[in-house]
Structure 1
Amino acid sequence: MNEKIESNMTESAPSLRERFRQYVHKMKSYEETVGVLYYDLRTQAPKEAVEGRAEVIGTLSTELFKLSTSEELGQYLSELSEPELWQQLDEVDRKLVEELKKEYDRSKKIPAEMYQEYVTLTSKAESVWEEAKEASDFARFQPYLEKIVAFNQRFVELWGYEGHPYNTLLDTYEPGLTVDQLDEVFGVVRERAVPLVAEIARQHQPQRDFLYSGFDEEQQKAFSTYILKEIGFSFRAGRLDASAHPFAIGLNLGDVRITTKYLPNDITFSLFSSIHEGGHALYEQNISSKLAGTPLCTGTSMAIHESQSRYWENKVGRSLSFWKKHYGKLQEMFPDAFGSVSLETFYKAINVVEPSLIRIEADELTYNLHIMIRYELEKALIGGELEVKDLPQAWNAKYEEYLGITPPNDAKGVLQDVHWSGGSFGYFPSYSLGNMYAAQLMHTMKQQIPDYEAHIEAGELHVLKDWLTAHIYQHGKLLTPGELIERITGQSLDPAYLVDYLDEKYRQVYSLES
C-alpha cells in the first residue's frame, strides 16, 4: 500500500468527506459551465459559432469526464465504502457515494479520447439536425446519426448488458427497467387505448379553427410567462427563452432555464410546451438545498421527471378546472381569436383526439403510440436489426401501422425530434412511463388533498406544488423511482391508472357511453 493511500485510510471520516465533497463540487462546476455553453448554443449563438462552440464543449466535457474517472475519485469512493467510514456517513453522503460509484464503474470503461470525440460529434450533430430538419433532408443528417448509433453500440459493448443490448441504455434513464418490462406495460396501454382511439375517430370532431389564427409572438410569450408564474415557476431562479426544440436545463437551484417555440398560427404549441418544460423546472427549483452542488440535485429518473412535465401540461394544463380560472385572461390577451369562443368549446378543442404526425403536438391518447414507434425503432437500431439509412422508410411504415398516417416528408417524419442527434437512446420510453407515473400520482393526490379540483379552479396551484415538493421534488435523487412511487402510492408502477384516466376523460370530452 502506497503512502498516500495508507495516510488516507487513517483519516477521519469528516475530513475525508469534506475533501470528497470539494472534489464533487469541482465536477459540478464543470458540468454547470458546459450547461451554460450548451444553452447558449441552442438559444442564441450565431450559426458560425457552432463548430468552435462544439469544440469547447467537447474539451470541457472531456475534462469533466476525466474528473469522473480519475484515480483520486476512485480512491475516495473506495475509502468511503469501507465499513468503518461508511457507518459514519449520513443519508446524503451514502447515496452520493453509491451514485458516483455506479457512474464511475461505467465511465471507467470508456476511453477519454473516445468520449471527447463523441461529445464533439453530438454537439455538431444537433446543429446539423436543425439544418436538416429545416430542409427536410435526412441524407444531410444521416452520416452523423450513423456515427452516433455506432458509438452507442460500442458503449453498450464496453459497459456490458444482460438480455437485449438496449437494456443498458434504458437503465441510464430509468434504473432497473428492461425491454421485457417495457413491452408489458406498453401492451396494457396499447390494448385499451387503440380501441378508444378507433371509437373516437367515428365521432364528430369539436371546432378548433380558432386555435390556429394569427398570434403575436410577444403576446404569446407574455401569456406563457403569466401561466408559468401561476403554476409556481420562479423567474428569480429561472428564465424562459426560445429554441428550435423546447427543453429544460437545471444548472443549479437558483438557475433553472426553459425554452419554448412560438408558432405564428398555433398558440397551443408555445403554451403547452411552456407548461411542460415548466413542470420539469418546478422539480429542479424545489429540490432540498442539502443536495445542492451534488449529482443528487436532480430528478431521480427521466420517467419521474417526465411525470411532472406531463402532469402539469395535461393533468392540470388541459383540465376544465384550470381553464375556468385562466380562460378569461386568454380571452383578454387574444380577443380576436377567443372573444366569442365559449369555455366548453375551448376545452374540447385543446383535448381533440386525432392521429397526427408530430409527437409534441399529439393528444394525450395517441401520444403513447408515438413513443412506442420510437422505442421500437431505436431498439432495432441498437440491436443491429435496422440500419440508419433505412430509418426514414421504417419510420413511415410504423406511422402507417400504428396511426394510419404517413409523413409527407422527413421534417414531419424521422427528423422531428432532437433526441437522437444528442445520442439520447433509451430516453423516449421515459415519456410514456412519465404519463403512467403521473396518473398514478394524481390518483393519490386526489385522495390526500381535500377539494383537489376546487383548488385548481380557484387558481390555488401552490397547494399542488407544495404536495409535490413534499413528496417528490425535495428528495432529488435520494430515492429510486421504485422507492418513490411505492412510498407515495403504496404500490409499484401500474399502467392501469393511466388508461383508466384516459378512458374517463375522453369519454366525457366526446360524450361517449362508458
Structure 2
Amino acid sequence: MELMKQWREHFKQLRAFDEAISLLYWDMRTQMPEQSAPLRAETIGYLSTEAFKRQTSESFKSLLNDAGSAEGLSSAERRSVEVAKTQFERNAKIPHDEYQAYVTLVSESETAWEKAKEQDDWDMFAPYLKKIVSFQQKFADYFGYEKHPYDALLYDYEPGMTVEQLDELFLALREELVPLIQQLPKETHSIDWSMPAEVQKQICHDWMNVVDYDLTRGRLDATVHPFEITINRRDVRITTKYDEQDCRNALFGTMHEAGHATYEQQIAPELDELGLGGGASMGIHESQSLFFENFIGRSVAFLERVYPKLQEVHPPYTSIDFDTFYAGVNEAKPSLIRIEADELTYSLHIIIRYELEKALIQGNLSVDDLPEAWNEKYKEYLGLDVPSNAKGVLQDVHWAGGSFGYFPSYALGLIYAAQLTEKMRADLPNFEELVSKGDFAPIKQWLEQQVHRHGKRLTPNELIEQVTGEAISVKPLIRYLSEKYTGARA
C-alpha cells in the first residue's frame, strides 16, 4: 500500500506540472500579448523540463523497479507500471538540456509559424522547422527502431503502430477512395457560407448544448488554429476559428473539438493518479472528434434538428431548403485546406503529410525542398495547384509544434470512428431517433462505457478488438462513405 501511495503521488506531481503548462499554453494561443512570446516559451520550457526530470530521475527509476516486481497489483496498476516503464526507457535516453532546448524551440516555433502563415512567408518559418526536424531525427535514433526511424516517433501518438502497417492501411484506403471520388457529380452547390462571427459563436454554443458538451467543465474561445486542451479533468477547453467567409469551418470545427473534450471529460478520474488519464491514442482521440463532427454533425438527423434554429438566427438561410443545405454541407470535392476537407477526400490530405513526414525524418527530403514536394503531391493526389504556401505547406501547426507522427492519427481516427459507429448502431437500433430528438444521453453513455472511461488502460488495438470484435479495418469506413456519397441523399 505504501508503494502504490508513492506511485500515485508521483503522478499527482506530474499532473500539477501538466495543469500549469497547459494553462500557460492555452493563454499563449488565445490571448497572450504578442511581445510576451519569448518569455512564455522559456517558462514553458523550464516547467516541462522539471516535469521531465521527475519522469527520468533515479528516484523514479527505483520506484519503477519496485512497482515492477510488486505483487497484488490491480489490472489498472499493472497497466500503469507497464506504460510508465516504456515511457521512462524512452525519456531517459534524451539529455535534459536537449529536452529543454527542444521544448523552448517548439514554443517559439509556433509563434513564428503564426506570423509566417499570416504573411505567407515560408522563409520566416523554415529555419525553425530545420531545427525541429534535426531534433526529431536525433530523438528517433535515441529511442531506437527496427525498420524505419518514423516508427520511433509513432509511439507517442499511436502505440503499437508501424510504418509497415500504415503503408498497408493507407494503400487499401487510397485504392478504395479514388474510384469513389471519381464518381462524384461535377456540379457544386452555390450556397453563400458567409456569416458574422457573433452569429457563428451563438450557433456553436447552441450545437454544443445539443450534443451535451459540458460547459460547466469547459469553455469555448477563438484562436488561429482550433484545438482542445485538458487543464484538468474538470476543465477541458476547446477553441475554434471564426471565418466570416465560411461558417462551416467554425461550426463543424467546434463539433470536432467538442468530441475531443467529451472524451476527456468522460475518462475515469481515478486513472489520472496512475498516469492513464489520457486517451488510448491520438487515433482513438480523433475517432471521437470525427464521430461528433461527421457521423453526428453532418448527419441528416442532427442537421434537421438544428437547421430551423440556424435559419432563425441567420435569416439568409430561410430561402434555402433543407435538402440543398444538407447537400452543401456534405459536398465532396478536392480542396486545398485539410481542416475544410470533406469526409471523402480528407484522408488523402493525411496520406500526403504522412509521406512527406516519413521522407523528412528518413533524410530523403530537405526542409528547403518541402514546399515544392508538397505542391507536387497535391497535384498528383487531388489534382490541385497550390497558389501559396499559406494555403499549402504552412497551413497546419503540427510541424511547428514538433508533432511528427501525429498526422496518421487523423486518418486512423476516421477508420476507428467508422468501426465504432457500426457497433454503436448495432447496440443502439434507435440511434437515428436519438440524434433527431437531441437525446444524447444513451449515446454518451455508450461511448463512456465502451471507449472513454478506459483512458490508457487499453492499447488502441485492444480497445477496437474489445468493442468491435475485429482488428482495425478500412471496410466499415468504405461502407459508410460509399453509402453516403453514392446514395440518393448525397
TM-score range, shorter chain: over 0.9
Deviations 1:196-232 (A, max 9, x none): 11121x5322x24222x3x221221111011112112
CA contact (8 A) 2:11 2:272 kept: no
Q: Which whole-Å CA distance do the structure 2 matches of 1:166 and 1:478 have between them?
A: 25
Asked if 1:56 corresponds to 2:35, the answer is no
Residues 82-481 of structure 1: pairs in structure 2 closer than 5 A: 82=69, 85=70, 87-200=71-184, 202-205=185-188, 207-211=189-193, 213=194, 215-336=195-316, 338-481=317-460
CA change 1:234–1:411 in 2 (3 A) is: same
CA contact (8 A) 1:28 1:294 kept: no
RMSD over aligned Cα atoms? 1.1
Q: Aligned letter for 2:25?
A: Y
Q: 2:229 aligns to what SS in structure 1? A: strand
Question: Gapped runs of 5+ residues in structure 1?
Answer: 1-13
Q: 2:236 aligns to what SS in structure 1? A: strand
Q: Which whole-Å CA distance do the structure 2 matches of 1:370 and 1:203 have between them?
A: 20
Partner of 1:28: 15
Q: Which whole-Å CA distance do the structure 1 matches of 2:110 and 2:419 have between them?
A: 35
The offset of 1:509, in angstroms, is: 5.4
Number of residue pairs the alignment of both structures matches: 490
CA contact (8 A) 1:325 1:457 kept: yes
TM-score (norm 1): 0.94
| Identical columns (%) | 49
Q: 1:20 aligns to what SS in structure 2? A: helix
CA contact (8 A) 1:373 1:399 kept: yes
The offset of 1:510, in angstroms, is: 6.6
Q: 1:172 aligns to what SS in structure 2? A: coil
Name which one, 1 or 2, has greater alpha-carbon Rg. Answer: 1
Partner of 2:57: 70
Question: Gapped runs of 5+ residues in structure 2?
Answer: none
Q: 2:220 aligns to what SS in structure 1? A: strand
Q: Which whole-Å CA distance do the structure 2 matches of 1:161 and 1:462 have between them?
A: 44
Q: Which whole-Å CA distance do the structure 2 matches of 1:413 and 1:194 have between them?
A: 21
TM-score (norm 2): 0.98
Q: Aligned letter for 1:94?
A: R
Q: Aligned letter for 1:91?
A: S
The offset of 1:101, in angstroms, is: 1.1
CA contact (8 A) 1:252 1:293 kept: no
Q: Which whole-Å CA distance do the structure 1 matches of 2:250 and 2:429 have between them?
A: 32
Partner of 1:16: 3
CA contact (8 A) 2:77 2:274 kept: no
CA contact (8 A) 1:188 1:496 kept: no
Deviations 1:380-429 (A, max 9, x none): 00000000000000000000000000110110000000000010001000
Q: Aligned letter for 2:258?
A: G
Q: Structure 1 segments of 4 or more deviating over 4 A?
A: none
Deviations 1:3-41 (A, max 9, x none): xxxxxxxxxxx0111112112211111111111101100
Q: For structure 1, which segment, 288-297 or 416-425, has the greater mean C-alpha deviation from structure 2 after superposition? A: 288-297
The offset of 1:88, in angstroms, is: 1.6
